[in-house]
Amino acid sequence: MPEETQLKDQLEQLVRLQEIDNRLVILKGETVRIPEKIETARKFLTETQTKFTQTHAEGESCNQRKREKERDLETCEERLSKARNRQSEIKTNKEYQAHLQEIEAFKVEKGRVEEELLTLMEQLDGCKRKETELSQTVKAAEQKFESERLQLEKQAEALKAELGVVEKEREAIVPAVDPKLLKMYQKIKNLHREWAVVPIQHGTCGGCHMNVPPQMITEVRARQRILTCSQCQRILYWPSSVEQPASINEAGSPQAPAASS
CATH classification of the domain holding 110: 1.10.287.1490
Q: What is the mean pLDDT of residues 121-139?
A: 94
Q: What is the mean pLDDT of residues 144-165?
A: 96
Reported as a single tens digit per residue, the pLDDT across 73-87 is 999 999 888 888 887
pLDDT over 70 at 258, yes or no: no
What pLDDT is attached to residue 99? Answer: 82
- How many domains is the chain built from? 2
* Pair (107, 191) in one structural domain: no
What pLDDT is attached to residue 242? Answer: 53
% of the chain with per-residue pLDDT over 90: 72
* Pair (202, 223) in one structural domain: yes
What pLDDT is attached to residue 143? Answer: 96
Domain end residue (candidates: 172, 188, 216): 172
pTM (two decimals)? 0.66
d(CA 207, CA 236): 9
What pLDDT is attached to residue 175? Answer: 94
Residue 143 lies in a domain: yes
Question: What one-character-per-residue DSSP string does 3-52 give?
Answer: HHHHHHHHHHHHHHHHHHHHHHHHHHHHHHHHHHHHHHHHHHHHHHHHHH
Domain end residue (candidates: 146, 172, 198): 172
> pLDDT class for 247, splitting at 50, 70, 90?
very low
* Pair (41, 168) in one structural domain: yes
d(CA 130, CA 110): 30
Residue 221 lies in a domain: yes
Residue 15 lies in a domain: no
> pLDDT class for 1, splitting at 50, 70, 90?
very low
Residue 24 lies in a domain: no
Q: Which of 235, 211, 234 is nearest to 225 (CA)?
A: 235
pLDDT over 60 at 39, yes or no: yes
Residue 251 domain boundaries: 178-255
What pLDDT is attached to residue 6? Answer: 85
* Pair (164, 39) in one structural domain: yes
* Pair (80, 200) in one structural domain: no
Are the C-beta atoms of residues 239 and 260 closer than 8 Å to each other?
yes
CA atoms within 13 A on the CB side of 151: 8
Report CA 92 to chain centroid distance, whole Å: 81
Reported as a single tens digit per residue, the pLDDT across 170-224 is 999 999 999 999 999 999 988 876 799 999 999 999 999 999 999 999 999 988 8
* Pair (110, 136) in one structural domain: yes
